[in-house]
Chain A
Amino acid sequence: MHWDIVWQNFDYFLWGAFPQGPLGGLAASILLAALGIFGAFWLGLAAGLMRLSKRIWVQIPSIVYIEIIRGVPLLMLIFWFYFLAPVILGRRLPEFECALVALIVFTGAYIGEIVRAGVQSLPRGQMEAARGTGLSHAQAMTHIILPQALRNMIPSFVNQFVSLTKDTSLAYIIGVNELTKAATTVNNRTVVAPTEIFITIALLYFVVCYVLTSASRRMEKHLSRYQARGR
């Protein structure tokens, strides 16, 4: 066994050549995932709310977006942004941005569906009661519907966010400097320790996803006060 190789390169797995060189390794993966989660949440929220609109021309873009994305593999999206961005924008997008946009657009569609289902699953009486006291549709959404719906959606959100975190490894394909890339780089250079290296990498992904799920479980518990008590 060659665990010494893993150990010698451990800091490279964690943050790449940083601070002398660019940020890489796990830190880049986490950054990609965090920005992706942030973007996908807002994009998905917008897509879900548009999907729920009564106005057909607001609905249609969101339906088209959600349906197309759900039928396309993430890897295709990454390639699209990588190869088509130069055609459309007239210049290359940096790899990190390409992967980030693809992750956001991809996960946003799933979040959109979760938001739509979550809002629809609330009893109709909640909206009626809110409108009945004179709140506008937007006020009822912000103060009554979304706070409840979003809480109910936390488990589904976390599933998506965990998937997204694991999917950041696909960014390796277009050469983004992240954890999987760091692993292959080290493996190609050292050759003799692929098992040790990839076990280590798998563990690192696992730890990040585990932290994400347990944080969400704690948050759910904290937010469920109004549901847990009473009848």
Chain B
Amino acid sequence: MPVIEVNKLNKWYGDFHVLKDINQTVEKGEVLVICGPSGSGKSTFIRCVNRLEEYQKGEVLFNGQDIQAKSVNVNQLRADIGIVFQQFNLYPHLTVLKNITLAPLKVKKTPRNQAEENGLALLERVGIHDQAHKYPAELSGGQQQRVAIARALAMRPQVMLFDEPTSALDPEMINEVLNVMKDLAREGMTMLCVTHEMGFAREVADRVIFMDSGIIVEEAPPDVFFNNPKHDRTKAFLKEIL
């Protein structure tokens, strides 16, 4: 059974049809990269997967279960599907470690010492265990985004969503974040990444999809996508960003 299955997903903001008949199947361990011009609906799409946005038509299945079904506990769903944002969105009033342990403590009721132990291990994994007791504002952008990744991982999610995680970073910090994401991909994490980092897509993506005006225009494995795109719109887009 696929981890995520999206069938004929449609979403409107008022009259504005932002997602049009989106279909996608993501198997366990797959890495899906989503690209496309600004306003094409990439963020809206991945935010539908953890119900940060509600959709009006079609369905999103997580482990076979319709996520908008009444019986679904949305908090449990979000604990199982981590998300990382472009703007990091760390909690500025909490230390790095507390940013990470809050959800395990409150949602999973993990004992504090265990939550902190996990948190420190995760910080080690993203390469910043020495910053545990600092506040987010004291870290660089790249470090903050790695904390955000650790915060999502602390819930031991089955799927990770990334919404342009490197777009707000200075160029010299992009790689430290991409490397963490590549490690995750290699360790078998199921990932949906909105990103225009084509090196990342080439290296770890199983599939790349190109969205435009709420439609999935093209979908292909990375080598085909980059070397042999079928659609003119994809070609034009690739020419622009490469």
Instruction: Mark A residues whose CB is within 8 Å of B.
Output: 123, 125-126, 128-136, 139, 143-144, 147-148, 151, 225-227, 229-231
Which residues does chain A contribute within 8 Å of B89, judged by CB atoms?
A: 123, 125-126, 128-129
A136 to B91, CA, bound (A): 16
Which residues does chain B contribute within 8 Å of A229, judged by CB atoms?
A: 135, 137-138
- Tell me, rounded to whole Å, the shortest Cβ–Cβ distance linking B207 to chain A: 24
A148 to B99, CA, bound (A): 14
Which residues does chain A contribute within 8 Å of B222, judged by CB atoms?
A: none
Task: Find out whether the CB atom of A129 lies under 8 angstroms from the CB atom of B75.
Answer: no
Task: Find out whether the CB atom of A227 lies under 8 angstroms from the CB atom of B50.
Answer: no
- Write the B94-138 contact mask toward A (1 if CB under 8 angstroms, else 0): 000000001100110000000000000000000000000001111
CB nearest to B47 among chain A residues: A128
- Tell me, rounded to whole Å, the shortest Cβ–Cβ distance linking A227 to chain B: 7
Which residues does chain A contribute within 8 Å of B152, judged by CB atoms?
A: 132-133
**Known A125-B85, A229-B138; contact A133-B90, beta-carbon cutoff 8 A:** no
Q: Total number of A-B contacts with CB less than 8 angstroms?
A: 80
Which residues does chain B contribute within 8 Å of A144, judged by CB atoms?
A: 91, 102
Q: Is the C-beta of B38 less than 8 angstroms from some C-beta in chain A?
A: no
Task: Find out whether the CB atom of A143 lies under 8 angstroms from the CB atom of B83.
Answer: no
A136 to B79, CA, bound (A): 11
Partner of A132, one of B78, B92, B137, B138: B78
Q: How large is the interface on B (under 10, 10 to 19, 20 to 34, 35 or more residues)?
A: 20 to 34
**Known A226-B93, A227-B92, A229-B135; contact A136-B87, beta-carbon cutoff 8 A:** no
Task: Find out whether the CB atom of A147 lies under 8 angstroms from the CB atom of B155.
Answer: no
A-B residue pairs in contact (CB < 8 Å), sample of 15: A125-B87, A126-B91, A132-B85, A133-B82, A133-B107, A133-B154, A134-B75, A135-B106, A143-B102, A151-B93, A226-B135, A227-B137, A229-B135, A230-B136, A230-B137
- Write the B201-227 contact mask toward A (1 if CB under 8 angstroms, else 0): 000000000000000000000000000
- Tell me, rounded to whole Å, the shortest Cβ–Cβ distance linking A42 to chain B: 22
A131 to B92, CA, bound (A): 16
**Considering the complex, which residues of chain B in the window 142-170 have a beta carbon less than 8 Å from any beta carbon of chain A?**
148, 151-152, 154-155
Q: Is the C-beta of B71 less than 8 angstroms from some C-beta in chain A?
A: no
- Write the B52-82 contact mask toward A (1 if CB under 8 angstroms, else 0): 1000000000000000000000011111001
CB nearest to A148 among chain B residues: B93
12 additional A-B pairs beyond A133-B151, A133-B154, beta carbons within 8 Å, are A128-B85, A129-B85, A129-B89, A129-B151, A131-B52, A131-B75, A133-B78, A133-B79, A133-B102, A135-B102, A139-B106, A230-B139
- Tell me, rounded to whole Å, the shortest Cβ–Cβ distance linking A223 to chain B: 9
- 7 nearest A-B residue pairs (beta carbon): A230-B137, A134-B79, A129-B89, A133-B103, A125-B89, A134-B107, A132-B83
A52 to B183, CA, bound (A): 41
**Known A129-B85, A227-B137; contact A134-B78, beta-carbon cutoff 8 A:** yes
Partner of B76, one of A131, A134, A139, A148: A134
Task: Find out whether the CB atom of B52 lies under 8 angstroms from the CB atom of A128.
Answer: yes
- Tell me, rounded to whole Å, the shortest Cβ–Cβ distance linking A124 to chain B: 9
